[in-house]
Amino acid sequence: MEPVQFLEILHLAENLKNNTRHSWTSTGRHESVAEHSWRLCLMALLVRDEFPEADMDKVLRMCVLHDMGEAFTGDIAAFRKTASDEARESAVLRRWTDSLPAPYGAEFAALYDEMEALQTTEAKIYKALDKLEAVIQHNEADLSTWLPLEYDLQLTYGAEQVRFSEYFTRLKKAVDADTRAKIAAAGKTP
């Protein structure tokens, strides 16, 4: 890859450091998209032994790239994201992957297609981790940052995506226990 192209990709990716998510950190600031993606990669590393049949290198690539569209569009909270928003993000990602030099454009486009289809073990692992990371981050944030709808959403978000795996199902139950404890400690109810 030519140095100019390399730098263009890095400059675009830098937006993910600046673009914030709906989530808050435990210290009271908005989480960046890049921070979410980094921890998602760490989570993928930590579950490697749970999925010996999976290509975890591919899962890591999915985790690194999954929110790259937000470098163009910014983050839209999952409960606010419309089909139109998803189509716009998909279109801008396609234009971006089409502009990349070989072999990166084709590789990244294939990864996005696989992630969207959610048929492979690798795509299912990435998606489960993505959902779980968001719930874990919300649990780490102060309850004052939660919207009223999030009391119930915390317990349902990601439930469908973890069902394919006994391990992820157990992990989601542990995360849900943390959610319930957090809500109960504040004297609230879901």
Task: Give the model's pLDDT for residue 145.
Answer: 95
pLDDT digits (tens, 9 = 90+) for 20-34: 999 999 999 999 999
pLDDT digits (tens, 9 = 90+) for 148-189: 999 999 999 999 999 999 999 999 999 999 999 999 998 877
CATH class as words, domain 3-185: mainly alpha
Could you give the CA distance from residue 154 to residue 136 in angstroms, rounded to a whole number? 9
Rounded to an integer, the average pLDDT of 5-24 is: 95
Q: Phi and psi for 142 in degrees, rounded to 5? A: -65, 140
Task: Give the model's pLDDT for residue 46.
Answer: 98
Domain residue ranges in the chain? 3-185
Q: Is the pLDDT of residue 7 over 90?
A: yes
Task: Give the model's pLDDT for residue 186.
Answer: 87
Task: Give the model's pLDDT for residue 188.
Answer: 78
Taking the mean position of all CA atoms in its chain, how far away is CA 141? 17
Average pLDDT, the chain: 95
Element (H, E) at 23: strand 20-24
Could you give the CA distance from residue 151 to residue 147 in angstroms, rounded to a whole number? 8
Structure tokens at 40: 């998602």
Provide the phi-psi class of 14: left if phi over 0, else alpha when psi is between -120 and 50, else beta: alpha
Structure tokens at 92: 């801008």
In this structure, what DSSP letter does residue 101 have?
P
Rounded to an integer, the average pLDDT of 37-45 is: 98
Could you give the CA distance from residue 76 to residue 70 in angstroms, rounded to a whole number? 8
User: Which of 107, 78, 72 shows the shortest CA–CA distance to 90?
Assistant: 72
Q: Where is pLDDT greater, at 77 or 189? A: 77
Q: Is the pLDDT of residue 190 over 80?
A: no
Rounded to an integer, the average pLDDT of 81-86 is: 90
